[in-house]
């Protein structure tokens, strides 16, 4: 009897927890951005007491490969809670956008294979046009930049894993848009960092990452940091690919990001 009551209590607790989380996530409005024959799914969170006569910074968040889909929900699994934190939401009012990438593509055309030692070797072809989801996100950002309530000098970009790689490629392709960036377990080719070496970037990476080797972050960091002391690198010893758990819990992350403004 006691075991049955315990099971029922646990089920009720899980159900209540799921319901509360669902209600919180529902604060992100479901939207679709349509351009020509393409549709981009995204979620958007507005500040409390949003006033269209005021100007707000924008945060663009690029999810990882595991959050791809067509449900317009999974992209909030990692990072969505950060901007629902009431204390942070009041302190840093912002418009937050989470686009969703379809399952059959990525934010970049990155390819990978293993070397003789079975280490991952990445290739970042950027001479071609960006994948369509990336182009659609860029067009979406441009549309919001025309909104009077958006502060064009305070548009930020963040990304996890596939989205961290995407963040750096977005900076390479469209460096004039962003004021700062946060790259979590991502990385890119350090040889093409010239376009965005003036931008402050905070890198986070686990030293034991066996999905995206940490040197792809660190080499870009070294390239950018040479002439830009506002750029940071935080490494997590003995941490594998899920460095987002620690990165998103960094108490100074949003404070650092929101203090940056685009240089005119």
pLDDT tens per residue, range 251-261: 999 999 999 99
DSSP alpha helices (H): ranges in the chain? Answer: 2-25, 86-91, 132-145, 162-173, 215-225, 244-247, 253-258
Q: Is the per-residue pLDDT at 8 higher than 60?
A: no
For residue 82, what are its two tokens? 């950060």
What sign does the CA torsion over 254, 62, 84, 47 have? Answer: positive
Confidence of residue 264 (pLDDT cuts 50, 70, 90): low
- Give the least confident one: 13-17, 66-70, 127-131, 235-239: 13-17
The CA distance from 232 to 202, in Å, is 5
pLDDT at residue 263, rounded to an integer: 76
Q: Is the per-residue pLDDT at 146 higher than 90?
A: yes
Q: What percent of the chain has pLDDT over 90?
A: 86
Nearest residue to 210 (alpha-carbon basis) of 103, 125, 118, 108: 118
């Amino acid at each position: 009897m006691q075991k049955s009551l315990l099971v029922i209590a646990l089920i009720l607790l899980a159900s209540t927890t799921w319901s509360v989380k669902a209600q919180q996530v529902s604060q992100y409005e479901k939207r679709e951005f349509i351009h020509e024959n393409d549709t981009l799914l995204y979620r958007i969170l507005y500040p409390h007491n949003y006033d269209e006569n005021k100007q707000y910074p924008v945060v663009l968040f690029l999810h990882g490969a595991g959050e791809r889909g067509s449900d317009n929900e999974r992209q909030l699994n990692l990072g969505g809670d950060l901007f629902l934190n009431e204390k942070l939401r009041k302190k840093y009012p912002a418009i937050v956008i989470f686009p969703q990438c379809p399952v059959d593509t990525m934010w970049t055309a990155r390819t990978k294979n293993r070397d003789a030692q079975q280490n991952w070797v990445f290739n970042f072809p950027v001479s071609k046009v960006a994948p369509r989801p990336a182009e659609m996100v860029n067009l979406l950002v441009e549309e919001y930049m025309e909104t009077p309530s958006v502060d064009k000098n305070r548009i930020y970009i963040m990304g996890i894993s596939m989205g961290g790689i995407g963040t750096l490629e977005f900076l390479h392709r469209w460096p004039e848009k962003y004021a700062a960036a946060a790259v979590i377990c991502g990385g890119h080719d350090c040889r093409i960092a010239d376009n965005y070496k003036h931008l402050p970037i905070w890198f986070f990476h686990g030293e034991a990452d066996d999905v995206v080797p940490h040197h792809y972050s660190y080499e870009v960091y070294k390239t950018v940091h040479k002439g830009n002391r506002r750029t940071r690198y935080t490494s997590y010893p003995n941490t594998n690919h899920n460095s987002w758990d620690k990165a998103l819990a960094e108490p100074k992350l949003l404070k650092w990001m929101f203090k940056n403004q685009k240089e005119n």
